[in-house]
Amino acid sequence: MRQVVVTSRSSNKMRKPIVLAALAMVVILTAAVIFLAWRWPFTREAVLKDLEEASMSKVDIGAFHGTYFPRPGCVLERITLLRVAFPAFSLST
């Protein structure tokens, strides 16, 4: 007894572009995630450096929490700004 397998050429023709498109989307999403992880501006060190430059103070951060969705950024808790030139005017939040 023989078994006959019938395949449709049109389904094979449609499958290849769909697979290629799905593969391209996966590659693009992977590249975007790697790029964002590499160049993410809201790291503890980057935010600390920016705050120190903007306030011309030594900054101490008690807690740092990164946020990603729906708004990228970070939350800082227990921030202390120590003015090097005028230590009597230091701030703590």
pLDDT tens, N- to C-terminus, the chain (93 residues): 677 766 666 666 778 889 999 999 999 999 999 998 889 899 999 999 999 999 888 999 999 999 988 899 999 999 998 887 766 666 666
Comparing CA positions, the residue from 90, 56, 93, 58 lying closest to residue 75 is 93
Give me the domain span that covers residue 70: 9-92
Domain count, the chain: 1
- Taking the C-alpha atoms of residue 64 and residue 76, their distance in angstroms, rounded to an integer, is 5
Which 3 state secondary structure label does DSSP give 20?
helix
4 part of a folded domain = no
2 part of a folded domain = no
29 part of a folded domain = yes
Beta-sheet strands, E only, within the chain: 58-67, 73-82, 91-92
3 part of a folded domain = no
39 part of a folded domain = yes
Gyration radius of the chain's alpha carbons: 27
42 part of a folded domain = yes
User: What b/e string do you get for 59-93 counting C-beta neighbours within 10 Å, with b at 16 or more?
Assistant: beeeebeeeeeeeeebebeebebbeeeeeeeeeee
1 part of a folded domain = no
Residue 91 is predicted with a pLDDT of 65
Residue 43 is predicted with a pLDDT of 93
Phi-psi region of 82 (alpha: psi -120 to 50; beta: other; left: phi over 0): beta
